[in-house]
Each structure stands twice: as structure tokens, then as C-alpha cells.
Structure 1
Amino acid sequence: MIRRHFPTGTLQSAVALLLLLLSPVTRSVRAAEVNVSDRTALVKALQQATPGTTIRIAPGTYRGGLDATGLKGEKDKPIVIAGADPKQPPVLEGGNGGIHLSGCSHVEIRDLHITGATGNGVNIDDGGDRNTPSRGIVLRRLTVTNIGPEGNRDGIKMSGVDGFTIDGCHVERWGSGGSAIDFVGCHEGVVENCVFTHDAGAAAQGSGVQNKGGSRGITIRRCRFTNAGSRAVNAGGSTGLEFMRPENPGFEAKDITVEDCYFTGSAAPVAFVGVDGAVFQRNTIYRPTRWVLRILQENQNPGYAACRNGVFRENLIVFHASDLSTAANVGGSTEPQSFRFEKNAWYCVDSPTRTQSLVRLPVAEVGGVYGTDPMLKDPAAGDLAKGKESSLKEYGVSEK
């Protein structure tokens, strides 16, 4: 019999390899990481991305107008498009749109600066098929500036996106009739820790964050709005039936929550427009230029809910009588009696003793406080935090 002798090390390696092949995989395979430093390489990386791919973009300026269709990550293996150095975010400049993703899922975009697009800065949609929404989208630490500047041009636009997160983004100066963020038929998402800033009067027909077209289950929290359009938050809106997602939802928006946000300026910090249920709570409002809130119905299609079931509570509102037309602007075809006003603190800077008489609401408020100075630290400089001596700590943004 011929006996074959193998070196001990070789035999051990073979056994280890065999065991690895026969046993369940217990270690994770390193996901592909693609480093790019020019636009051609970036476009190629987008075309070839698979679940788990991270595209790292080197600092520098790249021409905007990027388009990608069908990017499909997975819940535990998203496709990531990121600046290689968060301290030096790459700039996508110009183009009709900064970056447009269509029919995508589980994609994260972070640490980029999008500027100068003539259309929308960031545009994510379902590819026109409202039965298959894009899902699992994360936008983190994006800066979006100087979009438009005229017309309905949005900093960030999402149409038919479910299960999204927008965190730590800064949007400054968008189209005169557009929004910092425009949601059309989007569901179950969060906008948090963001800043929305425009020049006073420059977006007179625009809004900060708009939720319409059948949008539902969106929470906006810990954000700052400064002169963010005529309506800083538009809870609802007016949408053509062909753009509704899903088809004929029966409302422009539903279950919208706005909490722990700071608002400076805007004709109305919040507008409830054809919304069926929204909560606006623990927000600090400083010097709205015409109203504190609006209750409107712009979608007159049969079968759509009249604006109703809004809750406005535990907010701190600081206003000037010389600015305000009325606290609440109520339009026709609405159900203002279904709204609730609870435990808000109101302060008229130029006439404190008249505060309560100036706050005319469509229904009686429960537990309101009127005419007490909240002792804001430095509102003229944008610091709306309450001073240590304030007796209104439980109203407005929680500062614990």
C-alpha cells in the first residue's frame, strides 16, 4: 500500500477549509467599498452598486444631475452613497437636479452638499408606480442650498416613499414656490434634527416641510425653521388625483406630528390643510408675520375629508400685535370645531396685557396661559431657549 504523507500545516489548513465549507456561515463578508474621485467613476459606481455597496466620494466639486434607477439595497445591507470625509463634504453643483433616485430601496445618502440645481436638490420617487413605493431611504447630514431659485423647486422632494429617515440635514434657500422638503404620498417617516432657512419673503408662496398627496404617519421633531416660506409646516395641501398615493386615500394627509421645533417668522408656522388628524405640540414660535396657524381646505374633490381633528398643545407663542392679523385663520369647508387647543402659553411682546384678547381661536382653549413673559435668552440673535428665570419651562420646546 502506498502511503502519502502530507505536511502537518497543509493537512490542518485543508481540514479547516473543509469545516468552513460544511458549517453555517457565522462571519460577515466585508461589503464592497468603492472610492471615487471623479464624476465618471461616480456614475459607474451607481450603475454597479449592489446590496452592501458603500460609495465613498472624495472631497471636491462634481457636476450635479446624477440619476439612478432601481438601486436595491437590503434592510441589513443598504447601498450607501457618502462623502469620504464628513468634514469636507463633496459638492454636487448645478444640473437640473442634484441627485435623482427612482424606484429604489434601502439606500442611504450622507455627508454631501447639493447646491445650485435649477430643479430639485434631492429627488426620490417610486418611478411612477404608486403600488410599489421606494422604501428604507435615509438622508443624513446633507446640506442643500440655493435651489431654483424661482418657481416650485424643492430642496428635497419625495414622492411615493415609505419608511424613511431624514436626519441632521440643512436646507437653505429653495424655490420661491417650493418647499425645503416636499412629501407627496409618503408614509411612516421621520424628519429630525434638521434646519430650514430662507430669506424673509423670498419664498412667499412656498413652505418649509409639506406633507400632502395621501401622506400619512410622518413625524417632524427637533427641527429649526427660520423664515421657511409662507407656511413653515404644511400639514396637507392640494394634490391632483393622479398624483395621490395610494389611489384615492380620502385625505391630503393624516397622522402628522410636529414636536419640539423652533419657528421664527413665516406668515404661518403651521397650516392644517385638508388633513385628517395632526398634532402640533411642544413647539416654540417667535414672531409669525401674519397668523399663528391656519385651518384650510384646498382639495375640494368628493370623498375627501374636510380639514379636521387637529391638536395644538403645550406650545409657546411669542408675537407682536403689530405683526398679527389674527391668531387662527379659518377657511371654508373645514371642521374647526373638531380641533383641540390645550395648555399653550401666549405672549404679546408689544402689548402683554392684551394677549388674551388678541388670541381668538375657533374653539375655547383649555388651560391656556396669557401675558407671561417667557424670558427667551436672545430671540433677536436666534436663541429661542428659555432663560433660567422663566416660569414657562413646561411650554414650548423641551430643553432638558
Structure 2
Amino acid sequence: MEGRDRLFAAGGAVVLAMLGTAMAGFAGAQTGPETAAMQALVAKAPSCIARPRVVTVTPGQSIQAAIDRAEPGTVISVEAGTYRGSLDLTGLSGTPDRPVILLSAGGVGAAVIVGAPDKPAIGAWGISDVGIYGFKVVSGTSAGDLGGFKIAGPWEKPARNVAIVGNVVTGVGTDGIKLFNGAADIKVVGNLIDGDWREEGMDNVSVERSLFAFNTVRGSARYTSITMKAGSRDITLAGNEFDSRSGVGINVGGVGTSRFNRKFPDYWKGFEASAITVTGNVVGDRPERSVAFVGANRSVLKDNFLAGAVRSRPHDQPGKLHYPSHDNRIVGNTVAKESFFQPDEGQDRGYVLAGNGTGAAKVRAGVAALPDPVRAVCPASPAGTLARTFTSSE
């Protein structure tokens, strides 16, 4: 593969030209506008590195071999085709100005990763300054905590500065995308998650300072389209469409046994979710309930379209923990009926309900609503800044 290594002298211009090719090999449930919006977002990825070293992988070659040799500033450009076998990104690290980028060079979904039955399709432990752009990721697991993406790290070295952008995540597994163990500064933007998940479409266990924007979640999930729990905080959900067949669309907080079979640092104790901002999202009528606050505080649900009810309840495990929900704001949402808020007894302390009403038109959300022109989503982009400026032109 070394003979295919190419060092570009100027700002990724050649890589951008490569991305002008047709999206041969794309397969999925997307419409034309969705595909075009995702492709425009993925095409920005090479601008994250001023002078990238580009390694091209073609069908029959090993993506894993390229990952194992990648250095900061490498773009692993994967040409159209099907690549069987899970990818292990463990220990892969770039730097904030020279991340490592994995790129589907033929267009969104042209490079297809088919995961192994006993591993996540794309897994990572102790990863930093890495981006994954434009792949079709197929999970095929029938048991275990395994699905599409599974990214974390030991508490001493959590995942940092990871961008998951413009991918199609499908198949069967536990979760479409799972982040845990203190993962921070994660950007999950413009992805289509359309599979059958044993638990969640997207699961966040002890995650902070992260952004989920303009994703579309369809298919089915036993529990939720997205969950943020186990001390998760400072997360923004903006412009997503959550319409999977599931019990709940969005869990701000949640329940689980992870607190009792892992050594949780004190920083992650005392609540399930805090300082979560959920704005501009659409929760369709497939989830049984639109939103649940579960052991959550200081969070806001504003300017969303919610087809179902909103619940507030504690995470209570007698003799182990009692995390109530309190001091959350529910403002300016379009709701199905005036009696949409259904708190458990005592789980509305400090809540603000204002400006919610029925009858307004559904807002556009998900990958089809990606702004044009889009901004580059780089691994080191500050999630908070990106959330505030994502819709502005560069």
C-alpha cells in the first residue's frame, strides 16, 4: 500500500476533487435530497487537515492495515466497494490540527463496512482526534453489547475529539452508535441510522460536551432513538429527526446496570443527565412517547415538534441510588395535545413549562434539513461552538 501513499502539498484539494465522483455503490433508504445533503457534508472533511497524507485503499486491500499505520494528518481514502470484517480503531490518535480521517471517497455509502458477528462494526478504545465520514456501516450481531459504532476508553483515557459524520448505520445489533466511559467532545452529525437495535439507536453512557445534529433515526429500537445517561452532561441535540419504532424517542437520563458493574468516578455520580439541550428536533409518532426525563436536571426541551407525550420520573434503585428529575425547562414546543406533560408524583419540582402549543406545522429536521452550505465538522471542532454556528455559512 505504501506505493499508493500520496502527500498533497495544498489543503486537500485533490481529495476534494476525488469526492466529486458519482456515488457509485450507494445503497440505502434515502431520498435524493438526503443523499445530496450528506454528501456535501462529507465533502468538507479533507479541509480539516492543511497538508494531508492520503492513503488510498481499494477493494481487496485492508482498511485495518491502513489504520494500523496511520499517523497524525493521514486521510485513509477508501474507494467504493464492500469491505468485510470489523474495524478496530483502538489507540488511533491524531492531533487537533492534524487528525486522522477515514473517508468513503466514492460518496456516501459507496464504501461499505460489514462488521463481524462477534464485534462492533467499528470499535475503538482510547481514541482521539479521529473522524469517520461517509461510510455505510452494517452491523450483524445477534448477542452481546455489540452494534454499529462502539467508542469509549478507560476512565483514565476517554475518547476525545471524534467526528462521526455523514454515515449510514444499519443492520442488527445492540445500538447503532454507542459512546461511553467519559467520551467527550464528540460530534455526531448528518448520519442516517436505520437498523433494528436491541436497545437504542444511539446510546450515551457518561458522555459530555458533545453534539448530535441533523441525524435521522429510523428503523426500530427496543428502548429509545437516543439515550443520554449515567452522568451525561453538556450535550446538545439539534435538528435531528427521531422516528424509530421504540418505547421513547429521547431519554434525557435513563436507567441501567452499568453503575453497578463498573467503577464509576465520583464526577459521574449524583444524576443521570444534566445540562442537556434538546432543540429544533422532530420526534415522530412511531415512538410510544416523545421524551422522558429520567433522573435529569438543569436541561431544556425547546422549539421541538413532539408527536407524543413527555414524561418525568426518577431513576430509583432502592438501596443503591435515588436520582430525581427536577429543574428542567419545557418551552416553545409544538405538541400533540395540551396535556402532553405527564410527570410522576414529585417529578416536576422546579420545572418551567411555557409557550408550548398545538397545531403548528412540523419543522424540517434530520439529514434532509442539513443547512446549505454546510460547515466542516472536524474532530477538534468545539461541540458547543459548532452547535451555535452550524447553520451559518463559512
Q: TM-score range by the shorter chain?
A: 0.7 to 0.9
Which whole-Å CA distance do the structure 2 matches of 1:90 and 1:297 have between them?
Answer: 43
User: Is 1:316–2:334 an aligned residue pair?
Assistant: yes
Q: Structure 1: how far apart are the matches of 2:241 and 2:301?
A: 14
Judged with a 3 Å threshold, the aligned counterparts in structure 2 of structure 1 residues 318 and 327 are, in CA distance, closer, same or farther, namely: closer
How far does residue 86 in structure 1 lie from its aligned partner after superposition? Answer: 1.9
1:337 pairs, out of 338, 349, 363, with: 349
Counterparts of 2:232 and 2:269 in 1: how far apart (Å)? 9
Letter of the aligned partner of 2:85 in structure 1? G
**Following TM superposition, by how much is the alpha carbon of 1:223 offset from its aligned partner in structure 2, in angstroms?**
0.7
Match of 2:106 among 85, 109, 113: 85
Find out whether 1:374 has 2:360 as its counterpart.
Answer: yes
Q: Percent identity?
A: 25
SS at 1:133 equivalent: coil
Name the structure 2 match of 1:146. Answer: 171
Once residues 244 and 297 of structure 1 are traced to their aligned partners in structure 2, the CA distance between those partners, rounded to angstroms, is: 22
Residue 298 (structure 1) shift: 2.3
Quote the Cα distance in structure 2 between the aligned partners of 1:209 and 1:91: 24
Check the 8 A contact 2:130/2:162 in 1, yes or no. Answer: yes
What does the per-residue CA deviation read over 1:184-240, in whole Å, with 9 as the maximum and x for residues that have no partner?
A: 111100000110112xxx53x310111011111000000111135211111111243
The equivalent residue for 2:381 is none
Matched, 1:134 2:192: no
Aligned to 2:380: none
Aligned equivalents of 1:306, 1:134: Cα separation in 2: 29
Deviations 1:229-260 (A, max 9, x none): 21111111124324475435211111111100
Give 2:237's aligned residue: 220
1:307 and 2:321 matched: no
C-alpha deviation, 1:121, in angstroms: 0.2
Q: State the secondary structure of the residue aligned to 1:229.
A: coil
The answer for the alignment partner of 1:53 in structure 2 is 74
Counterpart of 1:100 in 2: which secondary structure? strand
Equivalence map 1:1-400=2 (5 Å): 30-38=51-59, 40-87=61-108, 89-95=110-116, 96-118=119-141, 119-126=146-153, 129-148=154-173, 153-159=174-180, 160-176=182-198, 178-198=199-219, 202-203=220-221, 205-239=222-256, 240-241=258-259, 242-243=261-262, 246-247=265-266, 248-265=268-285, 266-286=287-307, 288=308, 292-300=309-317, 305-319=323-337, 327-331=340-344, 334-346=346-358, 373-374=359-360
Indicate conservation of the 8 Å contact 2:54/2:74, yes or no: yes
**Contact preservation (8 Å) 2:163, 2:188:** yes
CA contact (8 A) 1:237 1:299 kept: no
2:60 and 2:342 map into 1 onto residues whose CA distance is 49
* Contact 1:282/1:313, CA 8 A, preserved across alignment: yes
Given the superposition, is the C-alpha separation of residues 309 and 64 from structure 1 closer, same or farther in structure 2, using an over 3 Å criterion? Answer: farther
- Equivalent pair of 2:315/2:323 in contact (CA under 8 Å): no
CA distance in 2, matches of 1:219, 1:29: 28
Q: 1:335 to 1:130 in 2, by over 3 A?
A: same
Q: TM-score, normalised by structure 1?
A: 0.71
Distance 1:80 1:115 in 2: 19
- Bigger Cα displacement from structure 2, 297-306 vs 182-191: 297-306
SS, match of residue 81 in structure 1? strand
Contact 1:131–1:246 (8 Å) recurs in 2: no
- Aligned residue identity for 2:283: F
Per the TM alignment, residue 111 of structure 1 is displaced from its structure 2 partner at its CA by: 0.5
Bigger RCO (CA 8 Å, 6+ sep): 2
- The answer as to whether partners of 1:58 and 1:90 remain within 8 angstroms in 2 is yes
List per-residue Cα deviations over 1:23-61 (Å, max 9, x = no partner).
xxxxx9833211011465211111111111110111111
Q: Deviations over 1:264-308 (max 9, x none)?
A: 11111110000122100000123x3xxx11111124365654211
Which structure has the larger Rg over C-alpha atoms? 1
In structure 1, stretches of 5+ residues that fail to align are: 1-27, 347-372, 385-398
Q: Which residue of 1 aligns with 2:10?
A: none
**Structure 2 runs not aligned, ≥5 long:** 1-48, 370-390
Structure 2 partner of 1:17 = none
Equivalenced residues, count: 308
Match of 2:5 in 1: none
Q: For residues 60 and 159 of structure 2, what CA distance do their matches in structure 1 show?
A: 25
